[in-house]
């Protein structure tokens, strides 16, 4: 890794057996592209996943499957670091220190926590869920991250990371040598927003309709069935109009994002054709994109030692960076160095 390039850090939680098309287009594909221009560090944040009390076997399986999907999509361990968060204990250590710098009120204002506790009831939440954004800040600040690719839903959390970085620097660092880098959000503009196939009014998400989801590891038949039963409208005109024709527009977006053909071109190509034609084309484009990813994941999971080796190597390199940052921060706040 060359240190002259800006550094990017991002992560996903291992909370599902497969990533879905929204994760792929909205995140993973950008991560892969960023490797050409940035020092990239990507993590599977398994400690974050503990906030939802997963079944142990499921957590173990999903952690490996998530890492395998990063690799299959093109995260390249020769150029980038890929590791499981729990393999680098400095994440939990810096999180404690940062939690002592986070106001209780400040953490209470995080809308993701507020929404979740409103949904399940405050009694059903846990302290980990409350301090989740602080652990996320630790993930980012340990690596002197310049840019963090995140979705809209994580912007407030990233704002907290920035505030904590600034607070650390202003309390404990000298002006000419800051302790940590203040990270910038990286919101990819041209990212197509992908909606639920069964309910094109809401974002594609694993908590949405099962039949509205396209998962990376779904078998091709399931994917085809879901696309063919995607909600459209009573009209018959293929046009891009997200307000009045959300279902058809979503199919056009998916096609365009994966085929690279501009939406206007698609609309022209499908002029006078039926929704069924568009759906058949979308099935093909999706399979062309996801088929190779699915195959590569299967290969990787068939050789778990190799996958674990890649993760161990990534963790070793990540740890070398994290250890240096943590030592510098520990020293600056007045902790006596261990000998």
**Binding-site ranges for ligand TRP (CB under 6 A):** 9-13, 45, 48, 136, 139-140, 148, 150, 154, 157
Which residue of the set 193, 206, 228, 273 is catalytic? Answer: 206
Q: Where are the alpha helices (DSSP H) in 121-262?
A: 127-141, 155-172, 220-228, 246-259
Minimum distance from residue 153 beta carbon to ligand TRP (Å): 7
Please indicate whether residue 221 is annotated as part of the active site.
Answer: no
Minimum distance from residue 94 beta carbon to ligand TRP (Å): 12
- Nearer of residues 150 and 230 to ligand TRP, judged by Cβ: 150
Instruction: Name 304's Cβ contacts closer than 8 Å, sequence gap at least 6.
Output: 64
Q: Please count the other Cβ atoms lying within 10 Å of the Cβ belonging to residue 185.
A: 17
- Nearer of residues 151 and 178 to ligand TRP, judged by Cβ: 151
Annotate 286-321 with b (16+ C-beta within 10 A) or e (fewer).
bbebbeebbebbeebeeeeeebeebbeebbebbbeb
- Nearer of residues 168 and 223 to ligand TRP, judged by Cβ: 168
- Nearer of residues 41 and 283 to ligand TRP, judged by Cβ: 41
Q: Which residue has the tokens 């400690």?
A: 47
Are 194 and 246 within 8 A, CB to CB? no
Minimum distance from residue 114 beta carbon to ligand TRP (Å): 15
At residue 149, the 3 state secondary structure works out as strand
Q: How far apart are CA 170 and CA 161, in angstroms?
A: 14
Are 10 and 27 within 8 A, CB to CB? yes
Minimum distance from residue 70 beta carbon to ligand TRP (Å): 13
Please indicate whether residue 116 is annotated as part of the active site.
Answer: yes
Are 121 and 37 within 8 A, CB to CB? no
- Nearer of residues 48 and 279 to ligand TRP, judged by Cβ: 48
Q: How far apart are CA 73 and CA 293, in angstroms?
A: 6
Which residue of the set 114, 189, 193, 203 is catalytic? Answer: 203
Minimum distance from residue 136 beta carbon to ligand TRP (Å): 4
Which residue of the set 116, 245, 279, 317 is catalytic? Answer: 116
Please indicate whether residue 203 is annotated as part of the active site.
Answer: yes
Catalytic residues: 116, 203, 206
């Amino acid at each position: 890794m060359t240190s002259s390039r800006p550094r990017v850090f991002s992560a996903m939680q291992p909370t599902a057996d497969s990533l879905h098309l929204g994760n792929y287009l909205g995140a993973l594909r950008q991560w892969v592209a960023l490797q050409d221009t940035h020092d990239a560090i990507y993590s599977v944040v398994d400690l974050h996943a503990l906030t939802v009390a997963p079944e142990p076997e499921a957590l173990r399986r999903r952690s490996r499957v998530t890492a395998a999907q990063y690799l299959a999509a093109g995260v390249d361990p020769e150029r980038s670091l890929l590791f499981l968060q729990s393999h680098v204990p400095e994440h939990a250590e810096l999180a404690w220190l940062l939690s002592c710098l986070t106001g209780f009120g400040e953490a209470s204002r995080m809308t993701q926590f507020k929404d979740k506790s409103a949904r399940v009831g405050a009694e059903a939440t846990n302290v980990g869920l409350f301090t989740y954004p602080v652990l996320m800040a630790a993930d980012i600040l340990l690596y002197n991250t310049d840019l963090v690719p995140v979705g809209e839903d994580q912007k407030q959390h990233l704002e907290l990371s920035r505030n904590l970085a600034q607070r650390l620097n202003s309390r404990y660092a000298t002006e000419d040598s800051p302790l940590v880098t203040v990270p910038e959000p990286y919101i990819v503009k041209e990212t197509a927003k992908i909606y639920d196939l069964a309910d094109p009014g809401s974002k594609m998400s694993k908590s949405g309709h099962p039949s509205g989801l396209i998962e990376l590891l779904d078998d091709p038949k399931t994917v085809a069935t879901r696309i063919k039963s995607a909600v459209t409208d009573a009209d018959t005109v293929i046009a891009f109009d997200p307000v009045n024709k959300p279902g058809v527009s979503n199919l056009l977006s998916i096609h365009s994002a994966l085929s690279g053909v501009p939406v206007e071109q698609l609309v022209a190509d499908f002029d006078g054709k039926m929704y069924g034609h568009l759906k058949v084309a979308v099935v093909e484009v999706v399979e062309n994109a996801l088929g190779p990813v699915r195959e590569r994941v299967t290969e990787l999971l068939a050789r778990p030692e190799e996958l674990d080796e890649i993760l161990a190597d990534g963790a070793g390199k990540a740890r070398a960076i994290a250890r240096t940052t943590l030592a510098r921060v520990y020293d600056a706040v007045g902790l006596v160095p261990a000998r």
